Structure 1
Amino acid sequence: MGVALEQFFIFVGLLACLAYLVKCVRFSKCIFLHFWKVLPRSFLKSMGQWAVITGAGDGIGKAYSFELARQGLNVVLISRTLKKLQAIAAEIECTTGSSVKIIQADFTKDNIYEHIREKLEGLEIGILVNNVGMLPNFLPSHFLDTPDEIQSLIHCNITSVVKVLTPYAVSTPMTKYLNTNMVTKTADEFVKESLNYVMIGDETCGCLIHEILRSFLNLIPSWVLYSSTFQKKYMDYLKHNTNTI
């Protein structure tokens, strides 16, 4: 019995070591890609001629629209406000030369998906950047849910993998323009860095400092993060680090 128990603990220890080794390898890749950009400029364009960006009128979605166009992709901008879409489309076409299509859609309504499907028909879509349904929250796991309708209408056209990004603090209209610092990135800074991590797994925080923050938070018991005291202190922090526009 004693020998069997000893072997069991050895086995559990080996599994724990293996899990930490995998995390270390992943983290090492993030550090490497933060300082050395090895992704060929033509890679994103090779995935497909078009990128679809929802929530393209502001913040991260807008930043992705410009950056992917600068990388040589044509972009489809989907958002609720037509005037914003038209202005962004004109600027992208003028500054990058990429083709731009706009689709006005309010994702709080249920009757928009057939319209989007028709507009996307025939396009070779390589990248989907989905910002629909995101709510500001301290824990990035809340960013993972996306509407089934979006997944299904893109699935019939898309030619490559949709990657999940779970960032922490990014200064955007949604986060009420948090003051930028070492942890809080501007939308442009976050987007440019996130494209370096396209080849790392199915999910990433999108930038090195957020990967470090996630590793630190994983050491904290979940009951502490979800406690009312912790949430109150975090909300107080947000209030004192928000710009008034």
Structure 2
Amino acid sequence: MRRQREEGPNMAGSLQLGATEWAVMAVVTGASEGIGRAYAFVLAEQGMNVVIMSRTKVTLDQVAKEISDTTGRRVKVIVVDFIEENVFSEIEDELKDLNIGVLVNNVGTLPSLIPCRFLEIPELDQTITKVINCNVKTMAKMCKIVLPGMDNRRKGVIVNISSGAASIPFPLYTLYAASKVFVERFSQGLQAEYKDKGIIIQAVAPFGVSTRMTAYQPTNMVTPSPEDFVKFSQQYLRAGDKTNGSVSHTLLGLLLQTIPPKLLYAESMLRSVQDYVKRKAAKK
């Protein structure tokens, strides 16, 4: 695994959530773009030094410079490809001396932008391994690395990014949606175990956000920018072990659960979903 540092001014910080002050460092995985990048900026703006992690060094270095220049916070870059095996011992070495108060497990991979049946996923065997490593294993391993320090200090925040696709069985995105169900159940169980230790652990399950994963759909009330979504979702940090992150996405989740399965999973409906996403992706 390749490692690189990019540091700004030596300034301590803290994340203020209500009347509670957390430790000085935040760790964000998948921070080179989208929701992860937005979290890194928001946490730095709120006074925290940040560790940003992803596989693309050039992009991470640029994000680190932008955060440092605009907020004055220190930024540490760790370059890592979470779809690979055996990367976590080196990550643990990089983080072991840091006082981490916030962890955002954002990194994730979508098997295919265009929805398709399970057996139609390209390079299926490799894709299964990549999705499990990136969407499931990484979250559990990062919690294993960071949680002991929070437990000792009896304070901390862990935000695990799930997906609205986990709210029901989601054909054509079956592998991705199932991996996000793990994120939610793991987060909810972990919160029950550590709530009395003063640690907040929450799954955040957005529907559409204007990112590469959604082919950068135009922003509107239902499809916010990553920056707006993160600001919305922070308002619900103390609302429980799971949130959709915004009022519009909560309503979408409720609406989805009212649609009869016979209609939702009809062959004509599945074809319509495929055609719609293909058209949107083609425009981008």
Task: Tell me the TM-score normalized by structure 1.
Answer: 0.74
Whole-angstrom CA distance in 2 between matches of 1:149 and 1:227 = 38
Residue in 1 that maps onto 2:190: none
Give the Å deviation of 1:126: 1.9
Whole-angstrom CA distance in 2 between matches of 1:134 and 1:217 = 23
Whole-angstrom CA distance in 1 between matches of 2:103 and 2:262 = 34
**Percentage identity across aligned positions?**
38
Give the Å deviation of 1:226: 3.8
Whole-angstrom CA distance in 2 between matches of 1:223 and 1:53 = 40
Give the Å deviation of 1:96: 0.4
Residue in 1 that maps onto 2:181: none
Count of matched residue positions in the alignment of Structure 1 and Structure 2? 201
Report the AA paired with residue 132 of structure 1: V
Residue in 2 that maps onto 1:127: 102
For 1:185, what is the secondary structure of its paired residue? coil
Answer whether contact 2:30 2:108 (CA < 8 A) is retained. no
2:231 is matched with which residue: 180, 192, 198? Answer: 192
Whole-angstrom CA distance in 2 between matches of 1:116 and 1:222 = 43
Q: Which residues of structure 1 form unaligned runs of 5+?
A: 1-40
1:157 is matched with which residue: 134, 149, 154? Answer: 149
Whole-angstrom CA distance in 1 between matches of 2:25 and 2:268 = 46
Give the Å deviation of 1:150: 2.3
For 2:28, what is the secondary structure of its paired residue? strand
Residue in 2 that maps onto 1:34: none
Report the AA paired with residue 171 of structure 1: S
Task: Tell me the TM-score normalized by structure 2.
Answer: 0.64
Residue in 1 that maps onto 2:215: 176
2:25 is matched with which residue: 24, 47, 50? Answer: 50
Greater RCO, CA 8 A, separation 6+: 1
Residue in 1 that maps onto 2:57: 82
Whole-angstrom CA distance in 2 between matches of 1:103 and 1:152 = 18
- Bigger radius of gyration among the two: 1
Whole-angstrom CA distance in 2 between matches of 1:137 and 1:165 = 23
Q: Which residues of structure 2 form unaligned runs of 5+?
A: 1-14, 116-130, 151-155, 157-198
Report the AA paired with residue 115 of structure 1: E
Whole-angstrom CA distance in 2 between matches of 1:243 and 1:192 = 30
Alignment RMSD (CA, Å): 2.5
Give the Å deviation of 1:235: 2.9
Answer whether contact 1:224 1:230 (CA < 8 A) is retained. yes
1:70 is matched with which residue: 45, 70, 86? Answer: 45
Answer whether contact 1:51 1:127 (CA < 8 A) is retained. yes
